[in-house]
Amino acid sequence: MSCKTKLATASSLIIGLGIALSLKAAVAQKPDSCGNLQTQMEMNNCEADRANDADADMNRLYKKLLVKYRSDAEFLKKLRLAQLAWRRFRDAQMNSLYYLKGKPGVYGSVFPMCWAMESAQLTTERIKELTYILDPEEGDVCCFQSQEISPNTKPRVAHPRISRP
């Protein structure tokens, strides 16, 4: 077998393996409930529902934090300020991404879907942050600590968004 033939065979195997892995990953993903819709209005409505659900989930987590740390007034004051700042950030981010939204026809009929998808993504990131505060894992000495935590509490596990060597 010539060197050129061996190279072509190896390349074919690598490409085939890449395709097989891609297909396996696609099958492993859970189905997208908004992905099988036919009309733009259906897609817009579905993504709006997702964004509303994400916002409701975030609000539930926020309320759980308020209850869990009700005796830590200093933390709650700062949490309220952080949540207000985050909402302002989200709104400002959305308005910067779609700054021409007031001009008719600029973004077309997909605009409501795109707006909702981006809003849901930002809100999902905030949910991760609030979840980390609500239920930090053991092992991370740099994580959130409330005054309610006793000095005998074990250190917590690393924050999922911070990669450590």
Sign of CA dihedral 135, 130, 45, 29: negative
pLDDT of residue 24: 42
pLDDT of residue 52: 98
SS (H, E, C) 105-143: CCCHHHHHHHHHHHHHHHHHHHHHHHHHHHCCCEECCCC
pLDDT of residue 30: 43
Question: Is 128 in contact with 161 (CB distance < 8 Å)?
Answer: yes
pLDDT tens, position by position, 40-93? 999 999 999 999 999 999 999 999 999 999 999 999 999 999 999 999 999 999
The CATH code belonging to domain 34-165 is 1.20.1270.180
The phi, psi pair for 139, rounded to 5°, reads 115, -15
Q: At 37, is the secondary structure helix, strand, or coil? A: coil
Q: At 62, is the secondary structure helix, strand, or coil? A: helix
d(CA 154, CA 152): 6
Listed by start position, the domains of the chain span 1-30, 34-165
For the whole prediction, is pTM greater than 0.85?
Answer: no
pLDDT tens, position by position, 23-41? 344 434 445 788 899 999 9
- Whether the pLDDT of residue 13 is over 50: the answer is no
Which of 7-11, 72-76, 103-107, 129-133 is predicted with the least confidence, judged by mean pLDDT? 7-11
Query: What is the rounded average pLDDT for all residues in the chain?
Result: 79
Residue with more model confidence, 113 or 150: 113
pLDDT of residue 10: 43
